[in-house]
């Protein structure tokens, strides 16, 4: 049994199988409660998305927390960033736990943990929790905590979001189609968008415990796009299962992913003098079109490895006010401690409304370059492929052919025995050929 439980975004796996079992959840609750108590707090917040296994895992987490003498505050079905918000803003709370597997199918689940500042746990705290889960240690105290419902959690969180939006810029009702993915956004989106500023139409708001992300949400925008065109909406919004990311659709039905959302927001923020240190943070997976857009607008571009937590850390280092991933995670550091799909949606609406322009017009300021991504199966040896002449020479040939108008990105998967090969450039057929050649050289050079 592996000692490592935390991946890039908490603990995750198939529900009711290790590590997503009641036993692991119970011990995770106990370990989090210890962190809470050590920091002088008395409670931890628990939220969940709509997966049917969420009830089971919530009960186990609450049992673990209360067995250590700490209170568990249940926020019910609510977005992940709301849990981070409550962990930070409830006076006696020292942590927040979200039960969700994000955009994964219903049969998966996960545990995401935030500290009392609303930040994702440090590597040190994650390691301490893993050590405790694998130990036989138990709490020997006599006192127990209690489980309380967090009153009006959805409306309180919606109120927080509107603290960071200038609704005076929305001068006429904004027509929306909102895809809630049958997930955590279902109730919160209604609390946010059922206001005089909006004319909303909702899709996928009838969760049954198994239909979360099922041909809907941020990974599947076809139905949303059709509805936007049919209703003549100004914009479509697609959230993932726990609503910490947003993919949008313009009024023509075109999908607008995170890089172009980042470009629209960054350009507007610079224009309004809101772009701290004139810098934007994104990951190596961002489209080269984003780099070119930022350069054309004289905005500095900081690039990190994959993961919203790495984006956040670089933002803290550079003082950036905005950063994100093409997957739709957007972080506005002056507003929140973590990526938030609903906050991103409100920011985007505010910008489009204030500019009095079509969303497509603003999004088209960034040219999206074609990308080809292929996976090559490799064994567990994971050699440094840049030290293999055949591969390194082919990479250099491709980069020379691209001549600054594209790039090659090759990296090992963090979770599977794969080498991921991405080539990006202005011509689809050419980059496809380049990618196939690179994959061929890798298969010849690295055993599967």
pLDDT digits (tens, 9 = 90+) for 306-346: 888 899 999 999 999 999 999 999 999 999 999 999 999 99
CA atoms within 13 A on the CB side of 31: 25
Tens digit of pLDDT for each residue in 318-329?
Answer: 999 999 999 999
- CATH code that applies to domain 6-153: 3.40.120.10
First-to-final CA distance of the chain: 24
Residue 307 is predicted with a pLDDT of: 85
Banded model confidence at residue 45, pLDDT cuts 50, 70, 90: very high
Question: Sorting pLDDT into bands at 50, 70 and 90, what band is 141?
Answer: low
- Residue 269 CA to residue 396 CA, distance in Å, equals 37
The domain ranges of the chain are 6-153, 164-363, 371-445
- Token pair 């980069």 in the structure block, residue: 399
Q: How many C-beta atoms lie closer than 10 Å to residue 2's C-beta?
A: 8
- Averaged pLDDT for residues 280-290: 94
Residue of 254, 265, 256, 220 lying closest to 240 (CA atoms): 220
What pLDDT score was predicted for residue 332? Answer: 98
Q: What is the pLDDT at residue 139?
A: 64
List the catalytic residue out of 43, 102, 286, 321: 102
CA angle (82 as vertex; 78, 85 as ends), nearest 5? 155
Fold of 371-445: TATA-Binding Protein (3.30.310)
pTM (predicted TM-score): 0.92
Q: Tokens at residue 69, please? A: 């003498």
* 67 in catalytic set: no
Which class is 164-363 in CATH? alpha beta
The average pLDDT across 437-443 equals 96
Angle formed at CA 159 by CA 101 and CA 358, multiple of 5 degrees: 80
347: closest CA among 254, 242, 272? 272
Q: Are 96 and 3 in contact (CB under 8 A)?
A: no
Contact criterion met (CB below 8 Å) for 339 and 330 = yes
Distance CA 20, CA 52 (A): 13
Q: How many CB atoms lie within 10 A of CB 136?
A: 4
Task: Give the Cα separation of 437 and 346 in Å (integer).
Answer: 43
Cβ atoms 375, 420 nearer than 8 A: yes
Q: Please tell me the distance from the alpha carbon of residue 421 to that of residue 374, in angstroms, as a whole number.
A: 5
Q: Which of the four pLDDT bands, split at 50, 70 and 90, describes residue 361? A: very high
Q: What value does the mean pLDDT take over residues 220-237? A: 98
Q: What is the pLDDT of residue 306?
A: 86
Same fold, 6-153 and 371-445: no
Res 3: pLDDT? 74
Reading the block at residue 275, the tokens are 């772009």
């Amino acid at each position: 049994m592996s000692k490592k439980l935390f991946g890039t975004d908490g603990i995750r796996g198939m529900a009711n199988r290790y590590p997503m079992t009641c036993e692991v959840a119970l011990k995770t609750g106990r370990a989090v409660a210890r962190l809470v108590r050590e920091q002088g707090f008395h409670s931890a917040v628990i939220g969940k998305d709509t997966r049917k296994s969420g009830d089971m895992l919530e009960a186990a987490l609450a049992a673990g927390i209360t067995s250590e003498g700490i209170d568990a505050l249940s926020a019910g079905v609510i977005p992940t960033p709301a849990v981070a918000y409550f962990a930070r803003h409830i006076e006696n709370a020292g942590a927040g736990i979200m039960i969700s597997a994000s955009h994964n199918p219903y049969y998966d689940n996960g545990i995401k943990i935030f500290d009392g500042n609303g930040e994702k746990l440090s590597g040190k705290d994650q390691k301490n929790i893993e050590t405790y889960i694998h130990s036989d240690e138990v709490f020997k105290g006599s006192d127990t905590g209690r489980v309380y419902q967090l009153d009006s959690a959805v409306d309180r969180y919606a109120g927080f979001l509107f603290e960071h939006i200038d609704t005076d810029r929305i001068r006429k009702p904004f027509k929306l189609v909102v895809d809630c993915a049958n997930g955590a956004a279902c109730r919160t989106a209604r609390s946010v968008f059922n206001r005089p500023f909006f004319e909303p139409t909702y899709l996928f708001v009838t969760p049954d415990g198994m239909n979360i992300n099922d041909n809907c949400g941020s990974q599947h925008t076809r139905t949303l796009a059709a509805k936007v065109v049919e209703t003549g909406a100004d914009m479509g919004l697609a959230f993932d299962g726990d609503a910490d990311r947003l993919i949008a659709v313009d009024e023509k039905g075109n999908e607008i992913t995170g890089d172009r959302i980042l470009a629209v927001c960054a350009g507007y923020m610079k224009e309004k003098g809101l772009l701290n240190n004139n810098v934007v943070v994104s990951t190596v997976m961002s489209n080269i079109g984003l780099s070119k857009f930022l350069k054309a607008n004289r905005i500095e571009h900081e690039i990190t490895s994959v993961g919203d937590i790495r984006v956040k850390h670089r933002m803290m280092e550079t003082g950036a006010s905005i950063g994100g991933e093409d997957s739709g995670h957007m972080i506005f550091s002056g507003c929140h401690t973590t990526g938030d799909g609903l906050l991103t949606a409100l920011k985007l609406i505010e910008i489009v409304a204030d500019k009095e322009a079509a969303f497509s017009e603003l999004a088209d300021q960034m040219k999206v370059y074609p990308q080809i991504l292929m996976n090559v199966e490799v064994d567990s040896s994971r050699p440094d492929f840049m030290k293999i002449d055949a591969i390194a020479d082919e990479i250099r040939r491709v980069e020379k052919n691209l001549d600054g108008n594209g790039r090659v990105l090759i990296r090992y998967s963090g979770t599977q025995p794969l080498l991921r090969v991405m080539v990006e450039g202005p011509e689809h057929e050419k980059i496809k050929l380049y990618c196939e050649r690179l994959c061929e050289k890798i298969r010849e050079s690295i055993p599967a």
